Structure 1
């Protein structure tokens, strides 16, 4: 099936750090569904940067952005946002480089964004038997925190990184603070965008966890990553309390979806 003509407003942005060989298939599958596709290589040392650059030589709709050192997922996304604005793009679909996200739904997510460009389109994951139970239970707690701190504004899943963001409000939020640079980028971005009135649209999407013998690579560390999330939600809670009157007012005055 031929790749659609390159969009001038929406691009696929893939932050990538030592993803192993799965990134090759991820990028090929993304390119089969959309153009352009950009990969931000966040200081990878596993040889993936060289392979991706080789792929890009023969594909004008694939771009590889190299960061000299690993700075975190949010920092990689911000680097992509800066470049996207410079090239006139208005929206990015972010997806992980490890093959967990469904590239075949890129078109559907982009269409949802184009129909409501003022909104963010959030993937709501459908798990299969490959999903570690502790991860599934842990994200339920994360989702509860995100929903409390947005007065249940509609965040179906706070952690799933397969989503479409409007660039301008997200970039403005990130440029004004030094947080949102690491693994905790996705939930904080969703909460803060809700705070400034960017409404979420939820679209179901399957997710698959690959075992190491299948080429799966995970940088999630149960203690460190969960402590980081807890600290993030605590920071947001301190900001949520003074915002509460405005959020309540918006809830009762905004037009129905």
Structure 2
């Protein structure tokens, strides 16, 4: 039986929701439906999934003009999927993209609030600052403090509330310029490197508290996080970024002094 599509909101011509996904399991259908209840348009970038979820997404999109499914033939990584999405979005005139995970961890109900914050400050990036529930793994909660500490040092404390939480709104033009200019930022290192490099480019962070859920396997939760592999990737990334920070330090100090002078 064909299911009715969600209510059609007036489509935005500047802001879209971008959901990269790779083998997300059954939760992706609910995630996409919830996102569509809150925003129009929603694009899903399928990053070479092999779990059968792509066919279900195609079915949803066939009945919903506010939903578009983009497909990459092989898995390339979250950052690569986001880059493909923002390239196509920019070509269609969009200026901002809200990224969220496909696995049900991120709060679709907050999409309008994040978009409104972005529309009020179009030159900024709007970052979710996670509020963890009791089910959150302590290793993940405590481990991210290391990445957050490095990110704040590397940006000279510009105000990054959380470097890893992927529920956020990016201005597309500066993000694409940065990504087109580097071979990095294609996999798990995308989220923290994006905020650091955008801060270097003068894009101000705005932080908004947002809950995060860690679904159990029984609830359909799927995790592609590999502790050793991904922490090694983050270590290499922060090593590169710290070297870049040292080179940019005089410019960053000058910018902070200039901003302090403007506030007085």
TM-score (norm 2): 0.96
Could you say which residue in structure 2 is the equivalent of 1:133?
Answer: 138
Alignment of 1:205-244 (within 5 A): 205-244=210-249
Say which SS state the counterpart of residue 76 (structure 2) adopts: coil
SS state at 1:112 partner: helix
Partner of 1:189: 194
1:159 to 131, 150, 164: 164
Q: Secondary structure at the match of 2:174?
A: helix
| Aligned pairs (5 A) from 1:1-257 | 2-254=7-259, 255-256=262-263
Q: Partners in 1 of 2:197 and 2:91 — Cα distance?
A: 24
Runs (4 or more) in structure 1 with deviation over 4 Å come to: none
Shift in Å at residue 3 of structure 1?
Answer: 4.4
- Tell me the distance in 2 between the aligned counterparts of 1:57 and 1:196: 39
SS at match of 1:201: strand
Aligned length, in residue pairs: 257
Give the TM-score of the pair, scaled to structure 1: 0.98
Residue 214 (structure 1) shift: 1.1
Point out where structure 2 has 5 or more consecutive residues left out of the alignment.
1-5
SS at match of 2:173: helix
Q: Matches of 1:65 and 1:200 in 2, distance apart? A: 28
Q: Residues of 2 paired with 1:45 and 1:153: CA distance?
A: 40
Q: Secondary structure at the match of 1:197?
A: coil
1:54 Cα offset (Å): 0.7
Query: How much does 1:4 deviate?
Result: 2.8
**Shift of the alpha carbon at 1:130?**
1.2
CA–CA separation in structure 2 for the residues paired with 1:166 and 1:36: 16
| C-alpha displacement of 1:51 | 0.5
Structure 1 segments unaligned to the other structure (5+ residues): none
